[in-house]
Amino acid sequence: MRVIPGFSYLIAGGADILPELRTILEKEGVISHGSVDVFVHEYRQFKIADARALRERADLRAMGGRGRVFIVVSATFYADAQNALLKTLEEPRAGATFFFIVPSPETLLPTLRSRLQTLALGGERDLRDARAFLKATPEARIELLKPLYTHDEDDERDIRAATDLLQGIEVVLSDTVNNPAARDGIRAIYRARRYLADKGALLKPLLEQVALLAPRM
């Protein structure tokens, strides 16, 4: 898929795919090496203040002739922040091009996703943690999950590790999707990912449900 300047893109993944994205953008002439018109930032949580700051940056004209490029990486995009971006993405100023990198694109609001083109990047996923999780007993799984929800308050929440593990488990289970137990596990993963970014949701019961429903493999 060719990247078109002035469009907005959604990429599934994390900060580890930034080098690949930069290589593609340089190869296609969207950015040049060391350009001051490229804004890259990884957020622990993308909040409404971050959306407003991004919108203000997008209103500034590019120093060069290729337009400004914004690359945003975050595991958590709060709903009010997403809503604050809608008009900016619908009518980008000064030919700005946006890339939003998020582990689970389906956790974003449909209204935001509808304004983004999907761009597939990333190599083969490391599934060792997911396979170790699925081999463990339910009791051992819950112990493995504890570090992921140690900080479960809004200001401390960081769901990147939890999201990465859920994606890996889903990949492994998808190979046995004809197994009813595997389907139950995948449904639990979908449910967990749907609510992970909700500030009012608790990670512990969401993740423990996956631990109990995913089949042992």
As a whole number, mean pLDDT of residues 39-43 equals 93
Which residue would you say has higher pLDDT here, 36 or 198?
A: 36
Tokens of 69: 């490029």
- Given a contact cutoff of 8 angstroms between Cβ atoms, the answer to whether 209 and 192 are in contact is yes
As a whole number, mean pLDDT of residues 182-210 equals 80
Tokens of 199: 């500030």
CA distance 35 to 54: 18
Cα dihedral value 132, 133, 138, 139, nearest 10: 80
Q: Is the pLDDT of residue 124 over 60?
A: no
Q: What is the pLDDT of residues 150-181, one digit of tens each?
A: 665 544 556 777 877 887 888 788 777 678 88
- Domain range list for the chain: 8-118, 128-213
What's the pLDDT at 32?
Answer: 79
What's the pLDDT at 157?
Answer: 55
- Given a contact cutoff of 8 angstroms between Cβ atoms, the answer to whether 206 and 191 are in contact is yes
In this prediction the pTM is 0.65
As a whole number, mean pLDDT of residues 4-13 equals 86
CA distance 18 to 31: 13
| Average pLDDT score, the chain | 83
- Domain 8-118: which CATH class? alpha beta
Q: Establish how many alpha carbons lie within 13 A of residue 23's alpha carbon, considering only the half-sphere containing its beta carbon.
A: 7
What's the pLDDT at 74?
Answer: 93
What's the pLDDT at 133?
Answer: 92
What's the pLDDT at 63?
Answer: 77
- Given a contact cutoff of 8 angstroms between Cβ atoms, the answer to whether 192 and 167 are in contact is no
Is 123 exposed, middle or buried (CB count within 10 Å of its CB: 0-12, 13-18, 19+)? exposed
What's the pLDDT at 192?
Answer: 82
What's the pLDDT at 62?
Answer: 76
- Given a contact cutoff of 8 angstroms between Cβ atoms, the answer to whether 111 and 80 are in contact is no
At which residue do the structure tokens 């469009």 appear? 7
Q: What is the pLDDT of residues 66-123, one digit of tens each?
A: 778 999 999 889 999 999 999 888 877 767 899 999 988 878 888 898 888 888 776 5
What's the pLDDT at 152?
Answer: 52
